[in-house]
């Protein structure tokens, strides 16, 4: 892992992937880091896990590469997508919309095949694409969850990706952007966890959004359902306090601190994550989900399965009987 000054290291890199690790909407959380790296002279791919929320894609769970069309397969679990990338039943990913607006290819990751295959596929992809570094960015901060947080609702994707990054051989580290903006972990909880990581020598530095980042992010998120980056934009403009998300059912926090991306050592972050450790040997997405269920934790996959069973197309439809179930 990176054991020296972060920005000196970045200046020596030539090409990087900045990957949203919490699902399809996290691709927007990569943009400040992408822009920062490009200013340092790096060539940058952005990407995300191929998993959209049920309001975009009604099929429960992440998509495998075998379910995606108009892609270039790079490894068993990684592909390059573009503006025309869709699922085999016609769902256009948020990454595809971003690709169209930026006129850039995007990286998509398949986490259906388990942690070992995801990790190996990422290593292989970095080699084939001649990439020096992968930065896994989480929007909201729930990648830092310990499993005891009262509002934790989507720990599965983050846990699989944290475990996958930890098991990679290639250089990588984490970014946390838009702290508190997903309505799961509070800003206070996230800052405590970052301090815990820092006490283990795992804090690498931070980057705050610029006006240029804001302009690009506003353009990219317009018309998209992802909320974390939009709330971070509100924070940049001085909004403070709580805002309602998910059809007005849950609350998220806004603060200037939500405009910052915090960079963390993967190994140190993993060492403090009982969730990532729990899924680390899982062979597929369902086994990983079961591991978290056995810890008493409901996940985004559980939510999507329920939404599919009920035929719900919105959070209000899904939670009309009990808005506090998850």
Angle at 242 between CA 29 and CA 311, to 5 degrees: 70
Q: Return per-residue pLDDT of the chain as tens, 326 residues.
A: 344 467 777 878 999 999 999 999 999 999 999 999 999 999 999 999 999 999 999 999 999 999 999 999 999 999 999 999 999 999 999 999 999 999 999 999 999 999 999 999 999 999 999 999 999 999 999 999 999 999 999 999 999 999 999 999 999 999 999 999 999 999 999 999 999 999 999 999 999 999 999 999 999 999 999 899 999 999 999 998 899 888 888 899 999 999 999 999 999 999 999 999 999 999 999 999 999 999 999 999 999 999 999 999 999 998 876 544 44
Helix ranges (H only) for the chain are 6-12, 31-39, 94-102, 115-128, 156-166, 187-199, 211-221, 228-236, 266-271, 274-279, 285-294, 300-310, 315-318
The pLDDT value recorded for residue 326 is: 42
The pLDDT value recorded for residue 245 is: 87
C-alpha dihedral, 60 to 62 to 64 to 69, nearest 10° = 80
The pLDDT value recorded for residue 2 is: 42
The pLDDT value recorded for residue 324 is: 47
Question: Is this prediction's pTM over 0.75?
Answer: yes
Helix (H) or strand (E) holding 244: strand 241-245
Is 120:109 a contact under the CB 8 Å cutoff? Answer: no
The full DSSP string for 170-210 is S-EEEEEESTTTTSSS-HHHHHHHHHHHHHTT-EEEEEEPP
**120 Cβ neighbours under 8 A, 6+ residues apart:** 75, 76, 77
Token readout for 196 is 């815990």
The full DSSP string for 91-118 is PBPHHHHHHHHHT--EEEE--TT-HHHH
CA-CA distance, 56 to 296, in Å (whole number)? 27
CA-CA distance, 219 to 200, in Å (whole number)? 38
């Amino acid at each position: 892992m990176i054991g020296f000054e972060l920005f000196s290291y970045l200046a020596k890199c030539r090409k990087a992937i900045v990957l949203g690790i919490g699902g399809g909407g996290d691709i927007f959380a990569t943009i400040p880091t992408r822009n920062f790296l490009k200013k340092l002279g790096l060539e940058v791919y952005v990407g995300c896990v191929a998993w959209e929320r049920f309001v975009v894609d009604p099929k429960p769970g992440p998509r495998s590469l075998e379910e995606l069309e108009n892609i270039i397969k790079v490894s068993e679990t990684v592909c390059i997508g573009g503006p025309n990338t869709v699922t085999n039943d016609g769902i256009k990913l948020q990454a595809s919309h971003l690709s169209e607006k930026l006129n850039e290819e995007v990286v998509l990751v398949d986490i259906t095949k388990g942690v070992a295959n995801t990790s190996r596929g990422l290593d292989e992809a970095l080699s084939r694409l001649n990439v020096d570094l992968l930065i896994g960015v989480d929007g909201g901060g729930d990648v830092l969850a310990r499993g005891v947080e009262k509002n934790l609702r989507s720990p599965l994707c983050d846990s699989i990706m944290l475990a996958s990054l930890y098991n990679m051989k290639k250089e990588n580290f984490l970014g946390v952007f838009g702290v508190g903006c997903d309505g799961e972990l509070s800003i206070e909880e996230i800052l405590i966890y970052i301090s815990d990581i820092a006490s283990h020598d795992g804090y690498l530095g931070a980057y705050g959004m610029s006006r240029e980042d804001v302009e690009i992010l506003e353009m990219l998120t317009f018309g998209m359902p992802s909320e974390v980056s939009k709330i971070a934009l509100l924070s940049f403009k001085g909004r403070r306090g709580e805002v309602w998300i998910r059809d007005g059912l849950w609350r998220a926090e806004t603060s200037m601190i939500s405009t910052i991306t915090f960079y963390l050592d993967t190994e140190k972050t993993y060492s403090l994550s009982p969730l990532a450790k729990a899924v680390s040997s899982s062979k597929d997405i369902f086994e990983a989900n079961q591991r978290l269920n056995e810890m008493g934790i409901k996940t985004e996959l559980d939510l999507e399965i329920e939404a599919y069973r009920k035929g719900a197309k919105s959070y209000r439809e899904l939670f009309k009987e009990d808005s506090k179930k998850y």
